[in-house]
Amino acid sequence: MYMALKIDRNDSSSSSSERLPLSDSSEDYHDESFDKDHFDDGPRYGGYPLRPHFQWSSLCFHLILASIYGAAFLAATYRSTSSIKNHDSKPKHLIASPLWEAVEIERKTINASIESENPFKGAPSEELDHAWHQLFINSNIRVTAEDLARINRTSVPINDEKGGYYATPEHCIDNLRQNIMCKADIALLTFTWDPTDRAPKPNFVVEHECANWDKVDKWAEEHRFDIFDETALIHPTLGPSFPEEEYKATGRIPGHPDFHPNEHHGGHSKGT
């Protein structure tokens, strides 16, 4: 019985000796490539590296890097799309003018009916003349060399302390006609029936798209200059453009507060 047990134990020992070694001193199954490829500097147990389930620092780094690349890609795409849209869109203005900064488009109802009254309508009077005169009092304005360069033009220099160049909004009758055609007011004029007339009657109270005149006129006022200042406009060989005594004597220059088309000064008789 003793011998049998001994034999069994030897068999067991012999069998166990064929199993994989568990000692950390064994080198039979030590794979150097495994160490190099799997976190050489990481924690070890029995000579073998322990591979963590998650490497949080590496994961965060790659997430941040991916976010940066994604944001850069979206920014480049948006910039490219905006550039294409801006290239295809129409320019805001087709002509250059320093007065664009004063232009504010607004909706304005205009009453152009025959019965309507305003300071610009009526029988000839001083009040009527004054109203029309005020429209032109700021017609002589000062512009810069840069303003002229934008329209590829030159103009007469102003010789006062502020400098600049002489310009004026167009205001002759035919220019008014051409400007009316140029602006092409597209507001709709509607009609109604009159029980006493078979022809439809227009409704002249119409809403229009207008520039705010007060703001444009304010800009012109801030940039105006007195053309009758003899030091302002001087011809290179003929002298001052508008000598004060001459224009007062003839009354031939409109656009000045002292201008009276039916009066002559300096010893001349008054006109009728």
What six digits make up the tokens of 85?
Answer: 């849209």
Q: How far apart are the first and last CA of the chain?
A: 161
Burial of 206 per CB tally in 10 Å (0-12, 13-18, 19+):
middle
What six digits make up the tokens of 24?
Answer: 């950390």
- pTM here is 0.51
| Residue 108, C-beta contacts closer than 8 angstroms, at least 6 positions apart | 207, 208, 209, 210
DSSP structural state of residue 3: H
Return per-residue pLDDT of the chain as tens, 272 residues.
444 444 444 444 444 444 444 444 444 555 555 444 544 555 554 555 545 554 556 666 666 777 777 777 677 766 655 554 554 455 577 888 888 888 888 888 888 887 888 888 888 888 888 888 888 788 788 888 898 888 888 888 888 778 887 776 655 666 777 778 788 888 888 888 889 999 888 888 888 889 999 999 999 999 998 887 888 888 999 888 877 777 666 555 545 555 544 443 333 333 33
Interior angle at CA 239, CA 222 and CA 156, nearest 5: 45
Please name the amino acid found at residue 54. F
Torsion of CA 218, 219, 220, 225, to 10 degrees: 100
Query: Using an 8 Å Cβ cutoff, are 264 and 271 in contact?
Result: yes
